[in-house]
């Protein structure tokens, strides 16, 4: 397999076959907490992908310089730096979204997808593969959180990205917007993913 | 300064705004280590301990950062303190209980990336709690985490024996149970206002 083909393969794997959410059960906290509307989900997906790709780049470039004993500390420092940048950029782009996401923008630091990427892939691989790998996982995460956001907003409040879909007489399923709805929707998506993958192994 | 009474802060973080079931913090260990009541309890205690220490440290750091006018370093310094606290706890556990160290396994270093702990530090800063309020808040949050973990572990031990459709075995089933549990905790919402 040529290198180009291999890199593309890494990217696609992260989106479906090794989806960080559905297969590896990582990054659950932001996935459940900020998927109550499409807008929140979209910004969370973008922010996470940004941090993921950038930290993977830096970790991969510095992989031979970081001593083994303090590597986790170094990775966390790198990640925290990019999260701080994201936080300030988000405040500048949209204060409304920043307020809606609340502490969860800062909490990207402890998203296990990102630390997992640094520890198990970027620290052992060259720049290009790790960027592709990170990007694929970022897209995979965004895909998961967007599907949850869409389901919860469309059914739960009858709108998509704030635009009302079914008119004023729609009876909203408020439960899906509430915390417990997050668990239910994720459970249903897990079932769906399991079903689809079982048919085509 | 925040005027909330200590009792209110404690009950609120323990039940009404339970970290796991209504804020979605600490979901990874909640799904990962809730297989057995015994392990769940020990995990809960370890997390509560780290929370208390890092809450105390975060109060101090926040004071220092305000003095130095360097608030942009907040996130970085909090996470570093948490990482070192976890390292400390890991060493203590390894010294005194080899069995517990084995049982917790990979989840011990992963306490660092437990969002509940960073969550405590960030929320107490955002709400301007003083150090005593922060400690009570951390204690409530830690016990709330332990409570959720214990309930879940108890349910899962029973579920082992239940016959469920093969497709729902594993995560999907746990998520459904967690959703129902979370609905139960919504019942506390009226308390304390």
Chain segment A54-96, per-residue pLDDT in tens? 999 999 999 999 888 788 888 888 999 999 999 999 999 988 8
- Count Cβ–Cβ pairs < 8 Å, chain A vs chain B: 111
pLDDT tens digits along B64-86: 999 998 888 888 899 888 888 88
Residue of A nearest to B32 (CA): A25
Spell out the long-range contacts of B53-57 with Cβ–Cβ below 8 A and sequence spacing 24 or more.
B53/B85, B53/B88, B54/B78, B54/B81, B54/B82, B54/B85, B54/B117, B54/B120, B54/B121, B54/B138, B55/B120, B55/B121, B55/B124, B55/B134, B55/B135, B55/B137, B55/B138, B56/B131, B56/B134, B56/B135, B56/B138, B57/B81, B57/B85
| A89-144 pLDDT, tens digit each | 999 998 888 888 888 888 898 888 898 888 888 888 899 999 999 999 999 999 99
Q: Write down the pLDDT at residue B193.
A: 46
- Does A87 contact chain B (CB < 8 Å)? yes
Overall number of domains in chain A:
1
Q: Residue A177 has what pLDDT?
A: 85
pLDDT tens string B142-179: 999 999 999 999 998 888 888 887 777 778 888 888 99
- Enumerate the domain spans of chain B: 6-24+34-185
- A 119-158 → B contacts, CB under 8 A: none
d(CA B26, CA B143): 13
The encoded tokens of residue A122 equal 């970027």
pLDDT at A196: 85
Q: Which residues of A touch B169 (CB under 8 A)?
A: none
Chain B residues within an 8 Å CB radius of A178: 186
Question: Among B23, B31, B75, whose Cβ lies nearest the Cβ of A25?
Answer: B31
Specify whether the CB–CB gap between B53 and B112 falls below 8 A: no
Instruction: Check residue B110 and give its pLDDT.
Output: 73
Looking at residue A199, what is its pLDDT? 62
Does the CB of B164 have a partner CB in chain A at under 8 Å?
A: no
Structure tokens at B11: 């009950």
Element (H, E) at A164: strand A163-164
A158-176 residues labelled b (16+ CB within 10 A) or e (exposed): bbeeeeeeeeeeeeeeebb
A174 vs B: CB within 8 A: no
Q: Determine the distance in angstroms separating the CA of B57 from the nearest CA of chain A, rounded to an integer.
A: 18
CA distance A104 to A40: 10
Q: How far is B148 from chain A (nearest CA, A)?
A: 14
pLDDT of residue B153: 92
The residue segments making up the domain with residue A83 are: 3-199
Residue B187: is its pLDDT beyond 90? no
Question: Do A107 and B115 count as a contact with CB atoms less than 8 A apart?
Answer: yes
pLDDT of B191: 67
**Chain A: nearest CA to B125, how far in angstroms?**
11
Q: What is the mean pLDDT of residues B14-41?
A: 84
CB contact under 8 A, A180 and B182: yes
Cross-chain Cβ contact B175/A187 below 8 Å? yes
Centroid of chain to Cα B130: 20
């Amino acid at each position: 397999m040529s290198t180009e083909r291999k890199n593309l393969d890494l990217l696609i794997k992260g989106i479906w076959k090794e989806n960080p959410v559905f297969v590896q059960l990582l990054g659950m906290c932001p996935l459940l907490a900020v998927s109550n509307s499409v807008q929140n989900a979209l910004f969370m997906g973008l922010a996470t992908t940004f941090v993921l790709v950038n930290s993977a780049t830096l970790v991969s470039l510095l992989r031979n310089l970081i001593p083994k004993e303090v590597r986790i500390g170094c990775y966390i420092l790198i990640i925290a730096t990019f999260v701080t940048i994201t936080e300030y950029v988000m405040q500048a782009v949209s204060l409304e979204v920043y307020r809606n996401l609340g502490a969860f923008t800062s909490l990207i630091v402890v998203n296990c997808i990102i630390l997992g990427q640094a520890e198990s892939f970027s620290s052992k691989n060259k720049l290009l593969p790790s960027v592709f790998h990170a990007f694929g996982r970022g897209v995979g995460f965004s895909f998961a959180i967007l599907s949850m956001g869409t389901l919860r907003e469309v059914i739960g409040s009858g709108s998509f990205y704030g635009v009302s879909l079914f008119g004023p007489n729609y009876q909203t399923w408020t439960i899906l917007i509430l915390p417990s709805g997050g668990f239910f929707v994720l459970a249903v998506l897990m079932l769906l993913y399991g079903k689809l993958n079982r048919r085509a192994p | 300064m925040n005027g909330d009474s200590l009792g209110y802060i404690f009950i609120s973080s323990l039940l009404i705004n339970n970290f796991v079931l209504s804020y979605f913090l600490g979901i990874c260990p909640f799904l990962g280590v809730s297989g057995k009541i015994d392990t769940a309890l020990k995990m809960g205690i370890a997390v509560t301990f780290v929370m208390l220490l890092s809450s105390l440290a975060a109060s101090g750091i926040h004071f220092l950062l305000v003095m130095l006018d360097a608030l942009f370093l907040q996130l970085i310094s909090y996470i570093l303190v948490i990482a070192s606290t976890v390292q400390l706890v890991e060493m203590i556990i390894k010294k005194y209980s080899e069995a517990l160290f084995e049982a917790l396994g990979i989840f011990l270093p992963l306490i660092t990336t437990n969002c509940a702990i960073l969550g405590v530090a960030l929320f107490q800063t955002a709400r301007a709690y003083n150090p005593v309020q922060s400690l009570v808040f951390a204690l409530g949050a830690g016990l709330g985490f332990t409570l959720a973990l214990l309930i879940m572990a108890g349910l899962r031990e029973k579920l082992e024996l239940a016959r469920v459709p093969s497709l729902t075995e594993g995560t999907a089933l746990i998520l459904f149970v967690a959703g129902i549990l979370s609905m139960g905790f919504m019942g506390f919402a009226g308390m304390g206002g």
